[in-house]
């Protein structure tokens, strides 16, 4: 767990890290949260303040059942980027359906306050069963009784937020490019773009789905889901303590990923800086989302030798074909008896490696997905590729171009059906007071 992910600051903390119940109650009163729910949150965050970098609260006597595995919503960066990658994902891209700038701000305030509560394992408002009998409940209820489950909620802004509607055109970061169409892309419009996005990651799928469902509900009248994606297993590690998971092709994935502990590299390749052009993005990042279908039926009829040559690593241990073990650096100069490089130049690893891309790196945070089958009985399954970068034009586009034009794995077995890019603003500092007039994610953009 990294510094900014520690659960060491309550949802309405004071500058010195103490709990400030009065603002929480004020905010609750202003936003119509029940006393019961507000007390639940205050209790949870007060307990959370006792947690340390040693990890989650799970199993600790001091942790209430609801706050177990709770990450802090507050910090210099949004949670869900360098946070140890959870195993489940619900991702949603939204269209903004209002032309009112004030309503967009109000939506971001509602989302921010709700996200901070959901991450503590608390219900929204009066809860699922505690509100007025004659009104729909404030919380849909399917996460009632479940712990926080490591939930992180990460908000992003798509190019549409910067169109003529909201007077934000001059604040659009140069890094938020219109994603080019890559050779071989077979995009399905139902998985493309979005004015806003929410990435909800958790260790329990019900918790991640509950978060998106309730945030979507809060957006009613202002934004509507354009497309969404569930992920059932992580395909990366974002910290050194985590095992390397396997992707839908059966290979270890995430071995050479950037990790939270690589702070210099993360500063260099992930976090935006004011000097990059837009001060409001300092401490933020850019999220590339690509829905990539894997032609499993073809891949599964391919020999082990061919599979390993296409990836550039062994299927068992994930070691590079040039030798060593999983975390040995690939050596692209080592040749076999036939004089050919052991790692083929057309392999995925050879083409995606920083040495082939001007040193560029990215923080991958993808998920396996399966969405049923097509009319021919083939699985609609693959990898929902998520990557955080500081500059998509120099860190993602050249790599994708190289993969699209030369990577045997990409050309023969992968079909990209969805694509989107979002600017992910920085986090909110501890001590921020939330509510109808309070702080919100992205506030510097509207300042």
Ligand X SMILES: C=CC1=C(C)c2cc3[nH]c(cc4nc(cc5[nH]c(cc1n2)c(C)c5CCC(=O)O)C(CCC(=O)O)=C4C)c(C)c3C=C
Q: How many residues form the binding site for ligand X (CB under 6 A)?
A: 29
CB 215 within 8 A of CB 114: yes
386 is an interface residue for ligand X by CB under 6 A: no
* Contact residue for ligand X among 20, 207, 294, 296 (CB under 6 A): 294
Spatial CB neighbours of 189, under 8 Å, sequence gap ≥ 6: none
- Nearest approach, Cβ of residue 253 and ligand X (Å): 5
Number of H helices, E strands in the chain: 12, 10
Task: Specify the stretch interacting with ligand X by CB under 6 A; choose among 20-28, 145-153, 335-343, 349-357.
Answer: 349-357
Smaller CB separation from ligand X, 28 or 187: 187
Q: Exactly one of 353, 369, 392, 440 binds ligand X (CB under 6 A); which one?
A: 353
Helix (H, G, I), strand (E, B) or coil at 324: coil
Q: Which of residues 400-429 bind ligand X (CB under 6 A)?
A: 400, 403, 414
- Long-range CB pairs of 374-379 (<8 Å, 24+ gap) are 378/295, 378/296, 378/297, 379/296, 379/297
**Of residues 162, 286, 385, 422, which one binds ligand X by CB under 6 A?**
385
Q: How far apart are CA 137 and CA 5, in angstroms?
A: 31
Shorter beta-carbon distance to ligand X: residue 23 or 330? 330
Instruction: Scan residues 326-345 and list those touching ligand X (CB under 6 A).
Output: 330
Binding string, 228-247, against ligand X, x = CB under 6 A?
A: -------------------x
Q: Does 396 bind ligand X (CB under 6 A)?
A: yes
Residue 288: Cβ-neighbour burial (10 angstroms; 0-12, 13-18, 19+): buried
> CB of residue 311 vs ligand X: minimum separation in angstroms?
5
- Beta carbon of residue 193, minimum distance to ligand X (angstroms, whole number): 18
Whole-Å CA distances, 165 to 45, 224, 423: 38, 16, 18
- Closest distance between ligand X and the C-beta of residue 364, in Å? 6
Nearer Cβ to ligand X (118/179): 179
As measured in angstroms, the least distance from the Cβ of 439 to ligand X is 34
Residue 79 to residue 48: CA distance in whole angstroms? 16
In the complex, what is the shortest distance from the CB of residue 120 to ligand X, in angstroms, rounded to a whole number? 33
Question: Candidates 132-140, 222-230, 260-268, 393-401 — which segment interacts with ligand X by CB under 6 A?
Answer: 393-401
The radius of gyration of the chain's CA atoms, rounded to the nearest angstrom, is 22
Q: At what angle do helices 101-118 and 21-31 cross, to 10 degrees?
A: 130
C-alpha 431/C-alpha 195 separation (Å) is 29
172 touches ligand X (CB under 6 A): no
Nearer to ligand X (CB atom), residue 252 or residue 344: 252
Cα torsion for 75, 79, 84, 86, to the nearest 10°? 150
* Structure tokens belonging to residue 434: 């939330």
**Is residue 383 a contact point for ligand X (CB under 6 A)?**
yes
Note whether 249 binds ligand X by CB under 6 A: yes
Could you say which of 234, 313, 365, 390 contacts ligand X (CB under 6 A)?
313
What single string gives the DSSP state of each residue in 73-120?
Answer: S-SSS-SSSSSPPPSEEEEEEEEE----HHHHHHHHHHHHHHHHHHTT
117 counts as binding ligand X under rule CB under 6 A: no
Bridge partner list, 376: none
x-or-dash string of contact with ligand X, 253-272, rule CB under 6 A: xxxxx---------------
Q: Cβ closer to ligand X: 283 or 320?
A: 320
Residues that bind ligand X (CB under 6 A): 247, 249, 251-257, 290, 292, 294, 311, 313, 330, 348-349, 352-354, 362, 382-383, 385, 396, 399-400, 403, 414
């Amino acid at each position: 767990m990294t510094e900014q992910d520690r659960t060491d600051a309550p949802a309405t903390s004071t500058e010195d890290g103490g709990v400030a119940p009065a603002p929480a109650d004020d905010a609750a009163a202003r936003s119509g949260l029940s006393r019961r729910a507000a007390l639940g949150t205050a209790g949870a965050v007060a307990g959370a303040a006792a947690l340390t970098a040693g990890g989650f609260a799970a199993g600790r006597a001091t942790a209430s059942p609801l706050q177990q595995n709770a990450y802090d919503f507050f910090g210099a960066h949004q949670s869900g980027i360098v946070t140890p990658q959870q195993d489940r994902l619900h991702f949603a891209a939204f269209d903004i359906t209002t032309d009112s700038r004030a309503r967009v701000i109000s939506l971001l305030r509602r989302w921010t306050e709700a996200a901070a509560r959901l991450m503590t394992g608390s219900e929204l408002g009066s809860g699922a069963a505690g509100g007025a009998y004659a009104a729909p409940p404030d919380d849909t209820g399917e996460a009632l009784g479940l712990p926080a489950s490591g939930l992180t909620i990460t908000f992003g802004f798509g190019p549409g937020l910067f169109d003529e509607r909201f007077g934000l055109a001059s604040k659009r970061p140069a890094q938020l490019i219109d994603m080019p169409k890559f050779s071989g892309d077979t995009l399905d419009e139902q998985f493309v773009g979005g004015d806003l996005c929410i990435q909800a990651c958790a260790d329990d799928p019900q918790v991640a789905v509950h978060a998106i469902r309730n945030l979507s509900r809060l957006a009613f009248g202002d934004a509507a889901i354009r497309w969404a994606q569930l992920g059932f297993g992580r395909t990366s590690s974002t910290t050194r303590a985590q095992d390397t998971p396997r992707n839908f092709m059966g290979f270890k994935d995430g071995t050479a990923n950037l990790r939270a502990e690589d702070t210099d590299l993360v500063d260099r390749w992930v976090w935006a800086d004011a000097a990059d052009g837009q001060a409001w993005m300092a401490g933020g990042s850019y999220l590339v989302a690509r829905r990539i279908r894997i032609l499993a039926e073809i891949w599964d009829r391919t020999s082990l030798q061919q599979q390993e040559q296409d990836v550039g690593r062994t299927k068992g241990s994930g070691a590079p074909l040039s030798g060593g073990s999983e975390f040995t650096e690939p050596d692209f100069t080592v040749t076999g008896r036939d004089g050919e490089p052991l790692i083929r130049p057309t392999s995925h690893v050879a083409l995606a490696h920083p040495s082939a891309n001007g040193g560029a790196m990215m923080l991958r945070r993808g998920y396996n997905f399966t969405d049923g089958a097509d009319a021919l009985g083939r699985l609609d399954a693959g990898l929902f590729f998520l990557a955080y970068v500081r500059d998509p034009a120099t860190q993602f586009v050249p790599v994708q171009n190289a993969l699209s034009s030369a990577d045997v794995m990409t050309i023969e077995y992968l079909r990209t059906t969805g694509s989107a890019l979002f600017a992910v603003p920085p986090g909110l500092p501890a001590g921020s007071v939330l509510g109808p007039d309070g702080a919100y994610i992205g506030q510097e953009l509207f300042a």
